[in-house]
Amino acid sequence: MMEYPRVKLASLVDLFSGFAWKSDYFNSEAVGIPIIRIQNVGADQVENDFIYWSHEYDNKFVIAKGDLLLTLSGSFRIALWNYKDALLNQRIVKLTPKSDILDKKYLYYFINSVIDEISKLARHAIISNISISDLKNIDIIVPPLEEQRRIVAILDKADEIRQKRQQAIAKLDELLLSEFLKKFSNKNFKSVMVQDLLETEKNMRTGPFGSQLLHSEFVDEGIAVLGIDNAVKNQFQWGKPRFITEQKYQTLSRYTVKPNDVLITIMGTCGRCAVVPEDIPTAINTKHLCCITLDKTKCEPEFLHSYFLMHPTARNYLESRAKGAIMDGLNMGIIKELPVELPPLEDQKAFVKFKKVILSQKQIMDLDAEKIDQMFGSLQQKAFSGTL
């Protein structure tokens, strides 16, 4: 096993933070230059994922293809920018090696291998943040440049396998999108609003605000508290464990999440959504989720989930109303008034049946991808422990 020196990140890497662009000057008409926000880092980029800036700017904030970026808020991600020139927003940092003794791609893989440790440095319970000073104190293992490049070549090959599996999964998503648009786009269905589809008027709610639920009130077990991480991948998944006591729950029971509720994120990576599974234990949602209980004689939860994600009317509505310079923001009033071009219930049910078949296939492929990710993680661990 080879032992290589550990050096503070700050001594080898320039850390450059983005700018707080004024949201008053944002536009979604592709006028000017794109702004890289947190949700754009590590994502496949398409034109309508961006907001744009058409005013003056300092060229030092321009990010070019190949630049290395790390998000400092929410779900922490490291990524090599793989799109056209864009402006760097605040709470994202560009990492640039100071000299040729550090390979940029090696730096990328190393930071990726310790991203969980970096996330533990975060502050705040619901939207986590890390600081530049936290990053500067990270120890980075620095083998000779030739060894760095050998490690990069091995990890690149392994990562290629991961990417191919992800591409296969993406094909299933494309098939589902194609079927949805074929059946439901430009069909002149009756237009209603989300608020017209609720089981009762009160069956849409965000979670407790401010002093209603404090970070200090979270406990190790009890009643689950759902947040952005449970819906951010557009399917329900368990994320960071958060619980409150049964006693505290009694004061917050009006925020209870029900089976088949539709969750939509309204802060951070907003507009992501998930359907709550049938076997959900007793749980409440945080203020960063809007929770919707539908009248199922009008609308299928899985249909509305797909509508939010896929229908041009919904996407245009959400994107045009999102606010916030760092991360998008929505509110319950905006969601209530979202227009829904509502097809007959039998058409919704037929689509949901098709969707379940696709999701079943995707689940199998996701399990394969998870195994590949685990093997990749093991390979990274060996690479940075000197045993590869």
The span from the CA of 71 to the CA of 93, in Å, is 6
pLDDT for the residue 45: 56
Q: Which of 44, 116, 27, 123 is nearest to 76 (CA)?
A: 116
Strands of the sheet with 51-53, listed across from one edge:
26-27, 51-53, 33-36, 86-88, 62-63
Please tell me whether residue 164 adopts helix, strand or coil conformation. helix
Q: Are 338 and 192 in contact (CB under 8 A)?
A: no
Please list, in sequence order, all residues whose beta carbon lies within 8 angstroms of the beta carbon of residue 374, skipping any fewer than 6 positions away.
none
Task: Say yes or no: 371 and 299 in one domain.
Answer: no
On whether residue 378 sits in a domain, the answer given is: yes
Q: For residues 7-33, give the mean pLDDT.
A: 93
Q: Is the pLDDT confidence value at 126 over 90?
A: no
Task: Say yes or no: 273 and 257 in one domain.
Answer: yes
Q: Which two tokens stand for residue 213?
A: 């639920």
Q: Tell me how crowded residue 20 is: count the other CB atoms within 10 A of its CB.
A: 11
86-88 vs 33-36, strand pairing mode? parallel
Q: For residues 292-296, give the mean pLDDT.
A: 96
pLDDT tens, 337-386? 999 999 999 999 999 999 999 999 999 999 998 999 899 989 988 888 87
Task: Say yes or no: 135 and 159 in one domain.
Answer: no
Task: Say yes or no: 220 and 359 in one domain.
Answer: no
Task: Say yes or no: 151 and 283 in one domain.
Answer: no
Task: Say yes or no: 203 and 113 in one domain.
Answer: no
Q: Are 77 and 71 in contact (CB under 8 A)?
A: yes
Half-sphere exposure in the Cβ direction for 86 (13 Å, CA): 28
pLDDT for the residue 44: 66
The span from the CA of 117 to the CA of 134, in Å, is 11
On whether residue 99 sits in a domain, the answer given is: yes
Q: Looking at 22-144, list the stretches that DSSP marks H as alpha helix, in order from N- to C-terminal side.
A: 104-113, 115-119, 132-136
Task: Say yes or no: 81 and 21 in one domain.
Answer: yes
Rounded to 5 degrees, what are φ and ψ at 246? -60, -40
pLDDT for the residue 173: 93
On whether residue 1 sits in a domain, the answer given is: no
Q: Is the pLDDT confidence value at 264 over 70?
A: yes
Q: Which two tokens stand for residue 31?
A: 């006028």
Please list, in sequence order, all residues whose beta carbon lies within 8 angstroms of the beta carbon of residue 388, skipping any fewer than 6 positions away.
151, 154, 379, 382
On whether residue 293 sits in a domain, the answer given is: yes
Task: Say yes or no: 225 and 334 in one domain.
Answer: yes
Q: Which two tokens stand for residue 214?
A: 């404090």
| CATH assignment at residue 20 | 3.90.220.20
Q: How many domains, the chain?
A: 3
Q: For residues 49-65, give the mean pLDDT.
A: 93
pLDDT tens, 180-211? 999 999 999 999 999 999 988 778 999 998 88
On whether residue 183 sits in a domain, the answer given is: no
The overall pTM is greater than 0.75 = no
Q: Which amino acid is at 274?
A: A
Rounded to the nearest angstrom, the gap between the alpha carbon of residue 290 and the centroid of all alpha carbons in its chain is 16
List the domain range (segments joined by +) for residue 266: 188-342
On whether residue 52 sits in a domain, the answer given is: yes
328-329 vs 267-268, strand pairing mode? antiparallel
Task: Say yes or no: 252 and 294 in one domain.
Answer: yes
On whether residue 23 sits in a domain, the answer given is: yes
On whether residue 250 sits in a domain, the answer given is: yes
Task: Say yes or no: 338 and 223 in one domain.
Answer: yes
Please list, in sequence order, all residues whose beta carbon lies within 8 angstroms of the beta carbon of residue 174, skipping any fewer than 6 positions away.
none
Task: Say yes or no: 130 and 18 in one domain.
Answer: yes
Q: Which two tokens stand for residue 353?
A: 């049946």
The span from the CA of 184 to the CA of 309, in Å, is 13
The span from the CA of 228 to the CA of 206, in Å, is 12
Task: Say yes or no: 307 and 282 in one domain.
Answer: yes
Q: For residues 132-138, give the mean pLDDT.
A: 89
Q: For residues 60-73, give the mean pLDDT.
A: 95
Q: Which of 342, 357, 373 is the last residue of a domain?
A: 342
pLDDT for the residue 386: 78
Q: Tell me how crowded residue 133 is: count the other CB atoms within 10 A of its CB.
A: 10
